[in-house]
Amino acid sequence: MQTDNPALKRYRRMAWITLGAVYFLILVGASVRASGAGMGCPDWPTCFGSWVPPTSEAQLPANYQEIYAQLGYSDTRFNVVKTWTEYANRLLGVSIGFLIFLTAIYSWSCRAHDTRIFKASVTAFLMVGFQGWLGSKVVGSNLQPGMITVHMLMALAIVGTLLYALAQARRGIMASQPAGNIDPRFEKWLYIVLGLTILQVAMGTQVREMTDFIRESQGEELRSSWVDAMPWFFYVHRSFSAVVLFANLWLARLLVMSLGWQHTLSKLTLTMICVIGAAVLSGATLGHLGMPALVQPTHLLAASLLFGLQFLIWMSYRHSRDGNVSNSSSNSDSQLPVGSEVTV
């Protein structure tokens, strides 16, 4: 069994900090998108041709709109708030890259315990570089919805990779909390819930892309009527949230009834229920109160947190299950008569 030691503790602490920062970046990125500041800098990696953005239109050439229009950018108007909002988002992204690099450095000392921690951490760092390249393509495509969705999915892939490394660093902790008394239906329901969540998130990305299309065609002034222009799958997405909620409630019931309230799996699952509640509440607000811009980032963050929590629950359950098998084998071995041999 993997033992806990200072190297693993330091790594877990660093990984939690990095994950929190990544989720904060997802929230900021969603806020940038919802506020329409995504093209506040019409070029990449510079902003209006400078590494430090201008603070007024007077600092730009008189024909700057023509210059960027010729390069294929659709929105070239200077707005100091949107420009610096997008620039701050980029700076935050660079800072997250450094945090993930530090996480990879911390993982070096964990190689003796589990090489997967190191490999996953390095992979996450390499994925950040690819994510930066994707960011340049998003700007170059004038915020095409499909490119934005790929950019978002890549962010979730980075979260999943970091969570995998973190779960491996927590393997010894979960193995010490065996789940031998868990309801046999739990594993099947866990996979069902994961499938339902993936389907719901996929529909959500389509709704998000359609929202961008409607905004382009109707403008911000008609935001309150955007819902009326939504296609049928928006209503499927909205109604399907009830299915996801009740499936997760059933999953939580199976866990709590089997393991009690104090087991880590139960605590993670109850946290997940709270996140789903936030996602449903924010989704209902979007659907019934005219798509308020401030609620869109909250809804996206809740969906991202749901993905992360379910992934962590899945990994933690596997380690608890494996710990239970190991403990059962140890107990069986200890009861063998003297001189007996075990065939592996």
Residue 56 is assigned to a structural domain of this protein: yes
**Which pLDDT score is estimated for 199?**
87
**Which pLDDT score is estimated for 31?**
85
Residue 296 is assigned to a structural domain of this protein: yes
- Interval 245-270: pLDDT, tens: 999 899 889 888 888 888 888 899 89
What are all long-range contacts of 4-9, with beta carbons under 8 Å and residues at least 24 apart? 4/172, 4/173, 5/113, 7/109, 7/110, 7/113, 8/110, 8/113, 8/169, 8/172
Residue where a domain terminates, one of 176, 200, 233: 176
Residue where a domain terminates, one of 161, 176, 191: 176
DSSP H or E stretch at residue 284: helix 264-288
> Helix, strand, or coil here: 29?
helix
Residue 134 is assigned to a structural domain of this protein: yes
Q: Are residues 133 and 195 in the same domain?
A: no
Average pLDDT over residues 160-187: 86
Q: Are residues 153 and 221 in the same domain?
A: no
- The rounded distance, in Å, linking the Cα atoms of 119 and 117 is 6
75 pLDDT higher than 90? no
How many independent structural domains does the chain possess?
2
- Lowest-confidence range among 6-10, 110-114, 212-216, 294-298? 212-216
Please give the structure tokens belonging to residue 283: 């989704």
344 pLDDT higher than 60? no
Residue where a domain terminates, one of 176, 197, 223: 176
- The rounded distance, in Å, linking the Cα atoms of 17 and 246 is 31
Q: Are residues 156 and 252 in the same domain?
A: no
What are all long-range contacts of 334-342, with beta carbons under 8 Å and residues at least 24 apart? none
Q: Are residues 291 and 194 in the same domain?
A: yes
- The rounded distance, in Å, linking the Cα atoms of 75 and 304 is 29
- Residues 208/149, Cβ–Cβ less than 8 Å: yes
Residue 340 is assigned to a structural domain of this protein: no
1 pLDDT higher than 70? no
- Residues 232/172, Cβ–Cβ less than 8 Å: no
Residue 328 is assigned to a structural domain of this protein: no
Domain span including residue 107 = 1-176
Which of 40, 28, 148 is closest to 87 using CA atoms?
40
Average pLDDT over residues 203-208: 81
Residue 164 is assigned to a structural domain of this protein: yes
**Which pLDDT score is estimated for 328?**
46
Q: Are residues 148 and 33 in the same domain?
A: yes
Q: Are residues 217 and 159 in the same domain?
A: no
**Which pLDDT score is estimated for 64?**
78
| Angle formed by the axes of helices 264-288 and 295-334, nearest 10° | 160
**Which pLDDT score is estimated for 330?**
45
Q: Are residues 70 and 55 in the same domain?
A: yes
Q: Are residues 110 and 218 in the same domain?
A: no
Q: Are residues 25 and 166 in the same domain?
A: yes
Residue 339 is assigned to a structural domain of this protein: no
20 pLDDT higher than 50? yes
- The rounded distance, in Å, linking the Cα atoms of 138 and 147 is 6
DSSP state of 51: S
Q: Which comes out higher in pLDDT, residue 191 or 335? A: 191
- Residues 82/35, Cβ–Cβ less than 8 Å: yes
**Which pLDDT score is estimated for 131?**
87
Q: The domain spanning residue 313 has which CATH number?
A: 1.20.120
Residue 332 is assigned to a structural domain of this protein: no
Q: Are residues 100 and 47 in the same domain?
A: yes
**Which pLDDT score is estimated for 33?**
77
Average pLDDT over residues 332-338: 44
Q: Which amino acid is at 234?
A: F
3 pLDDT higher than 60? no
Q: Are residues 277 and 165 in the same domain?
A: no
Q: Are residues 107 and 43 in the same domain?
A: yes
- Interval 278-334: pLDDT, tens: 999 998 888 888 788 788 889 989 988 998 998 998 888 888 877 655 544 444 444
- The rounded distance, in Å, linking the Cα atoms of 283 and 287 is 6
Please give the structure tokens belonging to residue 215: 């905004």
Please give the structure tokens belonging to residue 102: 């530090």
- Close Cβ partners of 280 (under 8 Å, ≥ 6 residues apart): 241, 242, 245
